Amino acid sequence: MDLRTAQPQIPEWRSVIDRAETGEIDEPIYNVDRGDTRPFDAIFVGGGAGGRFGSAYLRARGGRQLTVDRWPFLGGSCPHQACVPHHLFSEAARELDLARWLSGTLWYPDFDDKRASILEIVELFRSGRNAAHAFMNWQSKEQLGMEYILNASATVIDEHTVEVAGERFHAENLVLGTGARTLVPDIAGIGLRGVFDFASLVEELDYEPNRCVIIGGSKVAIEYGSFFQAAGCPTTIVTRSPLMSTASLHHVDDDLRRYVVDGMRTRGMTILEGANPVEVVGNGSVTAVDVRLADGTVERLPTDFVFVGTGERACSEPFVESLGVTTDERGSIVVDARMRTSVPGVYAIGDLIGPPMEMFKARKCGMAAARNIMGEPYEFDFSEYPDFLHSTYEVTWVGLTEAEARERHDHVVVIQMPPPGVQPGDIPLPCAEGSMLYAFTRPELTGFQKCVIDAESRRIVGLHHVGFGAKDAFQYLDHLLRRPGGLPIDEMAEMNELFLNPEHFIQLSRLRAGNLVLSDL
Amino acid sequence: MDLRTAQPQIPEWRSVIDRAETGEIDEPIYNVDRGDTRPFDAIFVGGGAGGRFGSAYLRARGGRQLTVDRWPFLGGSCPHQACVPHHLFSEAARELDLARWLSGTLWYPDFDDKRASILEIVELFRSGRNAAHAFMNWQSKEQLGMEYILNASATVIDEHTVEVAGERFHAENLVLGTGARTLVPDIAGIGLRGVFDFASLVEELDYEPNRCVIIGGSKVAIEYGSFFQAAGCPTTIVTRSPLMSTASLHHVDDDLRRYVVDGMRTRGMTILEGANPVEVVGNGSVTAVDVRLADGTVERLPTDFVFVGTGERACSEPFVESLGVTTDERGSIVVDARMRTSVPGVYAIGDLIGPPMEMFKARKCGMAAARNIMGEPYEFDFSEYPDFLHSTYEVTWVGLTEAEARERHDHVVVIQMPPPGVQPGDIPLPCAEGSMLYAFTRPELTGFQKCVIDAESRRIVGLHHVGFGAKDAFQYLDHLLRRPGGLPIDEMAEMNELFLNPEHFIQLSRLRAGNLVLSDL
């Protein structure tokens, strides 16, 4: 179908996407300006986060792009299977956590373990996700002026040619952005019914899980596991490395890690560290997982639901085959700081070039490719960035851990809440939006925060937060820490806090900034 | 009692405060270093937000201070009667709002209008507030090295002398910080039982309100009214000026105001604008409020609960009497940018010098006074600041409204969600922590946001947000907007967003930053 001259509004887009998903529309959806005779500056293979933002940027710079996606919508896996359901499930986990701790008090009824249905919440997501897709199709066409073909696979013929539904399109450059998928571990029985990853969970779950075993200790394992447990489904995480270890995440402060992981255990989760799955057991459907524990013994964990959270691997195979692009040992396409692959004129972006598989990186990769294609030399360094995950908390961090700071600086000062030696139950802080009810009922659950300072330069070098409401701020804190000159505690102390604020960094900095020689707080 | 040489831990402090409140301890609580023969650089009269932060700063600068408060704790009205209960009640309102809209779906039981007890939530606050007080007494003594006398009124004798429990203390300077109290309107019957303000509500409420009439349209009126309504108590706001009008708040964007006020009405609140209370009716206890409506007619509103939200007035009278400090027409003490009053050596800070009666201002006033007393000329300009309030939403804003920007700049561009012309129900954004459940059930409730840009300089000049999770970020956005050079959209587009982020400012900026000539989004 050709929608170029139509101006479908959001509800019409939603209907198109709905029908494409049921197969009622099985042809490509074209939004290509056939009257425009200019060549394409770039074809974006994959219209996910990176492809869409890169396309918008290239178009804004005056270039012409074509974006192709196999799904009937732009935006990729984030709103379809990844970030958006993760956030819905994490919000559900947070609300269920509150309902459980406050069970039978205030207006909260007695908490019924059986009440929260994972299936129902998954179905809620599934039934609503096309709203975001419809918006992005509309925005990309009507507001951003992009050209695209959806609901059609792109086959790369050579570095200037892409075939879509039998038609060949040519461009000066290609931008590859087809993402990653779960790296499924090679374990007997992993293909049984009842084994899911984040993608198949939202696509295929059709029963209510009674118990869960998670294989792997990635962010996804922590996030989805916390949701399953909060919903009343007893969950066991089987992980080789300790959760949130430096093997999988950078700059995780020990105290932050401890607060988060202890909090998961407090909520009933079983975490088996140093453990390896041996076999997924079942006959058609999963019935158990055999696990070799840290002490070498093998234990059988009965379960009707296995979730794979071992991390992801780039979908690079087709491009290795068609273009011969260089990949690294993990299969990620190798690019330079301008997103250029080993093949001239071919760029790669997003999850396809490896970790961190985060939204900011995908989008900025797209932007970086677009700028370079349009003749502006532009480098993107994503070696440092703010990070987050959810347990039943929002957990955010940026910059150095206390231990890292002590390795690099002679005089490190820490401002933290609760202060060392103070019992968490004695001090209901940090708190604000999201932890006030805990503050007055279970102060030990309100969270933890730490600000790490190089006392000599007076610069803040790391910020760490477990609680609620601070995630948005870390975007700007990252920026402030990175600026030339960084963020001195004295500048922090001059800011205008909105009180109560979820993180107390400004006011706590002010309480110390008067000191010529800084000390802990 | 003298605690100077004791090192009471937080639980012991809590016990001391508890006993002081019941009257079991009716003597002053001394933490004064009698062995230190240095004179005091300043006596802080009032140990609230400004007094405590000023004292800490002065002490950190090497000075010696004495802080006196009539309450048995430092920290003032914020944790005792103001910001902290406000945030607890606003969080309750948010959770109740969710419980109501999701009633009977997912794990939410049918919502019972009678279930949420205002009295119970007030009692929850009352029973727990001393935890924060105890922490601040501990922190101020053990970590910040302050000297103070609590549970004792200070009488100012002259500009160098304060009398406490019959003993006179002398200092080079005085810093006055005794705050403000509700400006009770002069209406017949306002003294009846059942009429409360934010302070007496938490001190005295001893029954469950069935209906509420709020007199006044201040922030407090919106915040507490939204809580009462969410708890199932039908609430009417009687206000002369429109809610959130520029008469009471600065920089409120029209679209933001509309979303918030419409949202309050959607939730069942009655808002009578252009209305004036004539009389509070009752016999001992309130039974109704007579109100002159905008059309001139008088209507009787039956109620058993009246809440006064008409704003506050500085508690300046004792200092006018003892020192002759100059006040303005509203009774606020007049100070210069260094917090100096008309009397040499006497400083005034916080709510005592008038609006904005916000925490950042109180604390930074204290810091400003301390710096000047310690010989550092330091000016504090609080004419511009980020602001917020709660309805059932978090509402935050900084910088110019769209209308203000259009008055000042020729080419103003707006990025907003939902975009103009798009129905809120069609696009479940902005969303992240706090609005995901709405996004998938009632997308029109997820919020509203707007970024206002001067297209010529490409600088962002205003940011406005209704939703959840963005308040903390506005502290840093305020700082970024204020820096020399401000915050260009191009710099915003380079930041690293943590996706999903509650406000979409970074990514939406990026979608436009590629344009040489900026346009709306």
> What CA–CA distances, in Å, run from B198 to A72, B78, B307, B358?
54, 11, 8, 15
What pLDDT is attached to residue A138? 97
What pLDDT is attached to residue A115? 73
Q: Decide if B83 is catalytic.
A: yes
Residues of B in contact with A382 (CB under 8 A): 496
Helices then strands, counting H and E runs in chain B, come out as: 16, 24
pLDDT (mean) for B279-293: 98
- At residue A112, does pLDDT exceed 90? no
Coil, helix or strand for B452?
A: strand
What pLDDT is attached to residue A415? 97
Query: In angstroms, what separates the C-alpha of A278 from chain B's closest C-alpha?
Result: 35
pLDDT (mean) for A181-197: 96
Q: Do A428 and B128 touch (CB under 8 A)?
A: yes
Question: How far, in whole angstroms, is CA B300 from its chain's centroid?
Answer: 31
Chain A contact present for B150, CB below 8 A: no
d(CA B516, CA B411): 13
Average pLDDT of chain A is: 96
A306-308 and A312-314 beta bridge pairing: unpaired
Residues of A in contact with B88 (CB under 8 A): 436-437, 439-440
Average pLDDT of chain B is: 96
Range in A287-296, A425-434, B50-59, B329-338 the model is least confident about:
A425-434
Radius of gyration for chain B, computed over Cα atoms and rounded to the nearest angstrom: 25
Q: Which one from B74, B176, B315, B487 is the annotated catalytic residue?
A: B74
Q: Do B493 and A367 touch (CB under 8 A)?
A: yes
- At residue B297, does pLDDT exceed 80? yes
Question: How far, in whole angstroms, is CA B200 from its chain's centroid?
Answer: 17
Question: How far, in whole angstroms, is CA B500 from its chain's centroid?
Answer: 28
Chain B contact present for A436, CB below 8 A: yes
Chain A contact present for B328, CB below 8 A: no
A394-399 and B394-399 beta bridge pairing: unpaired
Percent of residues, chain B, with pLDDT higher than 70: 100
d(CA A229, CA A267): 8
CB contact set of A196 (below 8 Å; sequence gap of 6+): A204, A205, A305, A306, A307, A308
Chain B contact present for A422, CB below 8 A: yes
> What CA–CA distances, in Å, run from B241 to A47, B248, B396, B402?
49, 8, 21, 21
Residues of A in contact with B499 (CB under 8 A): 78, 83, 358-360
Hey, which residues 485-514 in chain A have their CB within 8 Å of chain B?
493-503, 506-507, 510-514
Cis link prior to B418 (omega < 30° from 0)? yes
- Which of A95, A385, A513 comes nearest B496 by C-beta? A385
Q: Report pLDDT digits (tens) over B135-159.
A: 999 999 999 999 999 999 999 999 9
What pLDDT is attached to residue A240? 95
Helices then strands, counting H and E runs in chain A, come out as: 16, 24
The single-letter DSSP state of residue A76 is T
Both tokens assigned to B77? 């009205």
- At residue B114, does pLDDT exceed 80? no
What pLDDT is attached to residue A114? 61
Q: Do B437 and A493 touch (CB under 8 A)?
A: no
- At residue A423, does pLDDT exceed 90? no
Question: Is B517:B413 a contact under the CB 8 Å cutoff?
Answer: no
pLDDT (mean) for A332-344: 98
Q: Decide if A212 is catalytic.
A: no
Q: Report pLDDT digits (tens) over A162-179.
A: 999 999 999 999 999 999
Question: Is B53:B367 a contact under the CB 8 Å cutoff?
Answer: yes
Confidence tier at A208 by pLDDT (50, 70, 90): very high
What pLDDT is attached to residue B35? 96
CB contact set of B358 (below 8 Å; sequence gap of 6+): A499, B385, B387
User: Between helices A505-513 and B359-373, what is the axis angle to 10°?
Assistant: 10
Percent of residues, chain A, with pLDDT higher than 90: 95
Backbone angles phi, psi at A306, to 5 degrees: -120, 135
Percent of residues, chain A, with pLDDT higher than 70: 100
pLDDT (mean) for B465-476: 97
Question: Is B448:B466 a contact under the CB 8 Å cutoff?
Answer: yes
Coil, helix or strand for A363?
A: helix
ipTM of the complex as predicted: 0.97
What pLDDT is attached to residue B68? 98
Backbone angles phi, psi at B508, to 5 degrees: -70, -35
Question: Is A346:A159 a contact under the CB 8 Å cutoff?
Answer: yes
Q: Do A88 and B437 touch (CB under 8 A)?
A: yes
Query: In angstroms, what separates the C-alpha of A259 from chain B's closest C-alpha?
Result: 20
Confidence tier at B425 by pLDDT (50, 70, 90): confident
Residues of A in contact with B468 (CB under 8 A): 433, 469
Chain B contact present for A125, CB below 8 A: yes
- At residue A192, does pLDDT exceed 70? yes
Q: Do A363 and B507 touch (CB under 8 A)?
A: yes
The single-letter DSSP state of residue B419 is P
Residues of B in contact with A443 (CB under 8 A): 131
Question: How far, in whole angstroms, is CA A510 from its chain's centroid?
Answer: 33
What pLDDT is attached to residue B115? 73
pLDDT (mean) for A334-359: 97
d(CA A518, CA B349): 26
Residue for token pair 């934010």: B198
- At residue A426, does pLDDT exceed 90? no
Question: Is B416:B450 a contact under the CB 8 Å cutoff?
Answer: yes
Within 10 angstroms of residue A6's Cβ, the number of other Cβ atoms is 11
Q: Mind spelling out the 3-state secondary structure of A395-421? A: EEEEECCHHHHHHHCCCEEEEEECCCC
pLDDT (mean) for B239-251: 91
Backbone angles phi, psi at B397, to 5 degrees: -155, 155
- Which of B61, B427, B476 comes nearest A476 by C-beta? B476
pTM (predicted TM-score):
0.97
Q: Decide if B319 is catalytic.
A: no
pLDDT (mean) for A305-316: 96
- Which of A9, A473, A478 comes nearest B475 by C-beta? A473
- At residue A5, does pLDDT exceed 70? yes
Chain B contact present for A107, CB below 8 A: yes
What pLDDT is attached to residue A213? 98
What pLDDT is attached to residue A428? 79
> What CA–CA distances, in Å, run from A240 to A276, A294, A397?
6, 9, 23
Query: In angstroms, what separates the C-alpha of B50 from chain A's closest C-alpha?
Result: 12
Q: Do B426 and A10 touch (CB under 8 A)?
A: yes
Hey, which residues 216-235 in chain B have their CB within 8 Å of chain A?
231
- Which of A382, A443, A473 comes nearest B472 by C-beta? A473
Closest by alpha carbon to B96, among B125, B79, B121, B127? B121
Confidence tier at B246 by pLDDT (50, 70, 90): confident
Question: How far, in whole angstroms, is CA B19 from its chain's centroid?
Answer: 28
Confidence tier at B235 by pLDDT (50, 70, 90): very high
Question: How far, in whole angstroms, is CA A417 from its chain's centroid?
Answer: 27
Within 10 angstroms of residue A69's Cβ, the number of other Cβ atoms is 26
Q: Decide if A124 is catalytic.
A: no
Alpha helices (H) along A342-413: 359-373, 402-408
Question: How far, in whole angstroms, is CA B97 from its chain's centroid?
Answer: 21
Query: In angstroms, what separates the C-alpha of B431 from chain A's closest C-alpha?
Result: 9
Q: Report pLDDT digits (tens) over A457-511.
A: 999 999 999 999 999 999 999 999 999 999 999 999 999 999 999 999 999 999 9
d(CA A352, CA A146): 22
Q: Mind spelling out the 3-state secondary structure of A123-149? A: HHHHHHCHHHHHHHHHHHHHHCCCCEE
Q: Do A496 and B120 touch (CB under 8 A)?
A: no
Question: Is A62:A182 a contact under the CB 8 Å cutoff?
Answer: no
What pLDDT is attached to residue B217? 95
